Chains A and B, each alone.
Chain A
Amino acid sequence: MEKIATRGAYGEELVKLAEEYPELVVLDADLAGATMTKGFAKAYPGRFFDMGIAEADMMGFAAGLAACGKKPFANSFAMFTAGRAWEQVRNSIAYPHLNVKCVGSHGGLSVGEDGATHQCVEDLALMSAIPGMLVLNPCDGPEMRKAVRALLEYDGPAYMRLGRMAVESVTDEVAGYEFALGKAAMLRDGTDVTLAATGLMVQRAMAAAEILAAKGVSARVLDVHTIKPLDTEAILAAAKDTGCIVTSEEHSVMGGLGSAVAAFLSETCPVPVVRHGVNDEFGRSGKALEVLEAYGLTAEVMAEKALKAMELKKG
């Protein structure tokens, strides 16, 4: 089984697709070695622009490039792409609906040792709040590769989160898996509860489903790589078929997947929704896996949340 960080797959795919998409240009803000755009920089120096530690300016340049027909991918850490440059993304990119792909690497707690200033658990919320923004959070290498191509085909503003930590591939193990923007992928079917997960919580959801199966609980696993627009069809079907949902994300429980699912279902098919994520807290330093564990972002905790959701369903 392949084990690669989504940032690694992203960097490789950019290089792979460069010939096919001559309008692709890549910008970075002094983090090419970390966001993994360094491969592209080396292979296509004429189409790579290191804008220095100036994220706001990078977004403006990307907007101008897009206004002239380029397909810019602008890269930094999630904290700075979505945080520092939020207003540039909103006003110079999203408002004029320009074709810029804003990419935030090192999303979530799994940044690890760098600690809270670099562990962005608000990026999905920040970017989702902007009208017309497509928001992606692929879970593994194979899915990331498909997402990069899909973003190149998509004409409009988008945000995509990348992860720092190497993660196991799961989507390539699932028969019939297909990637489409805005469509959640069902990785496992079930009848008692749905685990709707995003990013590296998808792998944990698969493990949680195993834990639950051992207890006689049948869990559906949805890989929600597109946070916005939410795949309301898949969420509604899950609510109807399984009667309760656990959302799981390496992100604040506010403003991300959990909020989106709960808000949508409360208006369409009110079933119990239990949110699994970061509970209105900053992260802290530690090894990535230790930090995830410390914040309860594990398969075990997710399985407990599933049992709780099933309890709520009974009323």
Chain B
Amino acid sequence: MTLKELELTAAKGRLLGLEMVYRAASGHIGGSLSAMDILTELYFEVMKVDPAQPGDPGRDRFVMSKGHCTPGLYPVLALRGYFPVEELELFRSIKGHMSGHPDMVHVKGVDMSTGSLGQGLACAGGMALAGKLDGRDYRVYALMGDGEIEEGEIWEAAMAAAKYKLDNLCGIVDVNGLQIDGATADVMPSEPLDAKFAAFGWHVIKADGHNFESLRAAFAEAETVKGRPSVIIARTVKGKGVSFMENEAGWHGKAPNAEQYEAAHAELAAAVEKLEVE
């Protein structure tokens, strides 16, 4: 895909995510918007997957460790062709299985059920370890939140991944600077993240989480690293794309009201339109 095509795909994903949260009157929009470009880069460029064969044992795998961000993940899976976009309409509804947090049993394309923060990196580590045991060359990606990494299990998994030299494992931290109660710097300062991961034996790459060139280069670098796992520290903006949601902790897990929805929709739709004419 060209950079423009990636941007357009992500813009469509943002619009779908917003619609999902508005329709369900609940859901996590802020972190979904901050992760949208990372997810798009992964599913449309980096990962070797075939939506027609979601169970292919040789496929690359993705673990949404920050599982609340289904309004980011599900639109990307739908756009990639795992299931029809219309299915997003049943997000969080009893009428379907588009669960609030990723469900690998019911949602095509979901490789791991998540939602309890802190557990995904270990699961991704297990998948990467299985790949090593089986001599398969698939890669495993795990997206974490910068609040999520306050969980101890992340660092247990970080130690283990280094011990088993899981160079087929690539973590991404969506550093949007916010969690529920406010700025991560206030709630629980976790910086310097690069030094922490490096100290745990990981190869650290820094990227701009909203720049496809930067993301592309980061993932490409990660693939060249041998003998240890990589982590991409991706700087992002929570609520990216909706001006009044950007950098506002309050938009972590809140659905917009009708008026806010109209405004947000107009902004995101304009972004799609602009990219479509370009």
Say whether A and B bind each other. Answer: yes
CB distance from A275 to the nearest CB of B (A): 33
A88: CB under 8 A from chain B? yes
A264 within 8 A of B: no
**Contact at A67–B159, with CB atoms within 8 Å?**
no
CB-nearest residue of chain B to A56: B153
Q: Known: A63-B112, A67-B112. Is A57-B160 also a contact (CB below 8 A)?
A: yes
- CA–CA, A57 and B157, complex, Å: 6
Q: Which of A32-71 contact B (CB under 8 A)?
A: 46-47, 49, 51-52, 54, 56-70
CB pair A67 B57 closer than 8 Å: no
**A60 CA to B112 CA in the complex, in Å?**
11
CB distance from B162 to the nearest CB of A (A): 11
Complex Cα distance, B125 from A49, in Å, reads 12
Determine if A60 and B121 form an interchain contact, defined as CB atoms under 8 angstroms apart: yes
Contact with B along A193-212 (1 / 0, CB 8 A): 00000000000000000000
**B145, CB-defined interface residue at 8 Å:** no
Question: CA separation between A51 and B125, bound complex, in Å?
Answer: 11
Contacts of B116 in A (CB 8 A): 87-88, 91-92
Docked complex: A83-112 residues within 8 A CB-CB of B: 87-88, 91-92, 95-97
| Closest chain A CB from B103 CB (angstroms) | 8
Least Cβ distance of B58 to chain A in Å? 10
A25 within 8 A of B: yes
Chain A: interface secondary structure?
helix
A91, B122: Cβ atoms closer than 8 Å: no
Known: A25-B133, A67-B112, A91-B115. A60 touches B126 (CB 8 A): yes
Name which residue of chain B comes closest to A95, CB basis.
B113
Contact B104 A68 (CB under 8 A): no
Least CB distance from B276 to A in Å reads 38
Q: Which residue of A lies closest to B151 (CB)?
A: A56
For chain A, the count of residues having a C-beta within 8 Å of the partner chain is 30
Majority SS at the chain B contact face: helix
B204 within 8 A of A: no
Report whether B125 and A61 are in contact in the complex, using a CB–CB cutoff of 8 Å: yes
Cβ contacts B114-135/A at 8 Å (1 or 0 each): 1110111111111111110110
Contact A61 B129 (CB under 8 A): yes
Instruction: Report the minimum CB–CB distance from A59 to chain B (whole Å).
Output: 7
Least CB distance, B121 to chain A, in whole angstroms: 7
In the complex, what residues of B have CB within 8 A of residue A91's CB? 113-116, 119
Contact among A47, A60, A70 with B123 in the assembled complex (CB-CB below 8 Å): A60
Given contacts A64-B112, A91-B115, A96-B104, contact A56 B152 (CB under 8 A): yes
Question: 7 additional contacts, CB 8 Å, given A60-B123, A64-B128, A67-B127?
Answer: A54-B160, A64-B125, A65-B126, A68-B57, A69-B134, A70-B133, A97-B105
CB pairs A–B below 8 angstroms (13 shown):
A56-B118, A56-B152, A57-B122, A57-B125, A57-B157, A61-B157, A62-B126, A64-B125, A64-B130, A69-B134, A70-B133, A92-B112, A95-B113
Binding site for A on B (CB under 8 A): 57, 61, 63, 103-105, 111-116, 118-131, 133-134, 140, 152-153, 156-157, 159-160, 163-164
